[in-house]
Structure formats: C-alpha cells, structure tokens
Copies of this chain bind each other. A is one copy, B any other.
Amino acid sequence: MPVHHHIFTLATRGQATYEITDEVARAVRASGIRDGTATVFVRHTSCSLIIFENADPSAQTDLLAYFERLVPENAPYFVHTLEGADDMPSHLRMVLTRTSEVIPVIDARLALGSWQGVFLFEHRRAPHRREIVVTVMGET
C-alpha cells in the first residue's frame, strides 16, 4: 500500500486561523492515491488544527473571541506561567481542539463538505514557524 508524506511549514503572525486546505489537497494530488485517508498532523503543543466554516470570515472572528473567554489568560490558579501569559492558554486551547484531522480521500480528492476548510489555529501571539505533516494512505 502506498504511503505518501508531505511535510510543510507555515509562518504564523499571531493568534488567528490560517487555512491550509489547498496545501493538503495538493499533497493528495501529488500522492497519486485515489482512495484512502489524508491525516493532517501538527507537531506542536501551542497551536492546533480544526475543520471549520471557510465561507464567512465573521465565523472566524467569533471563534477567536469565544476561545479568549473560554480559556482566559492569567487565571489566578495557573502555575505554568514562565513562558508568557499566552502560553498556558495555548496548551488548553490546543487540548480542546485537535492535533490531527483525518479526512477521507475519494476519487483522488479530499471528501470535504461544501463549507469545510482545514485550518491551523495559532494560539500564540508571537510569530512562529509551524510544521505540519500530511500522510496520505490508500490505493492508487
């Protein structure tokens, strides 16, 4: 069975969502695999992956506002504070979302719904270089 890995880096510029659907789709096309799965994996503990509405940017705005309230900075009981006020919230926001997303590949295409996009969800304020692995497996 063929396995195809595609590794790429993404430069983030603060807390936001960054769509990576096209890059994942390219990895699927390059793999030559017609049917199987694409696993997207992020190799970090202060950013995460989500599949989310990609049509209306206002949904992304509300997502960020919601997570700011759900996991506040400077909670009085936090003890893991040496790496900055946005570090521990990053780990918690990551735990509440995902490190990997698995998407079926059908007829050599990602089987996403009409409004689904794959996003890196950056939780740190400072710029970071984030490494993402796409593993496509299946039959050609």
Contacts and interface: CB of A to CB of B under 8 A. Distances in A.
A99 B58 contact: no
Contacts of A91: 52-53, 59, 62-63
29 contacts: A1-B138, A3-B35, A3-B36, A3-B138, A5-B35, A5-B106, A37-B39, A37-B135, A37-B137, A41-B103, A41-B111, A43-B111, A44-B115, A52-B91, A52-B94, A52-B95, A56-B80, A61-B79, A62-B80, A65-B77, A70-B70, A96-B97, A98-B98, A100-B101, A102-B102, A104-B135, A106-B133, A111-B133, A137-B138
Interface of A: 1-3, 5, 35-37, 39, 41-45, 50-53, 56, 58-59, 61-63, 65-66, 70-71, 75, 77-80, 88, 91-92, 94-104, 106, 111-113, 115-116, 131, 133, 135, 137-139
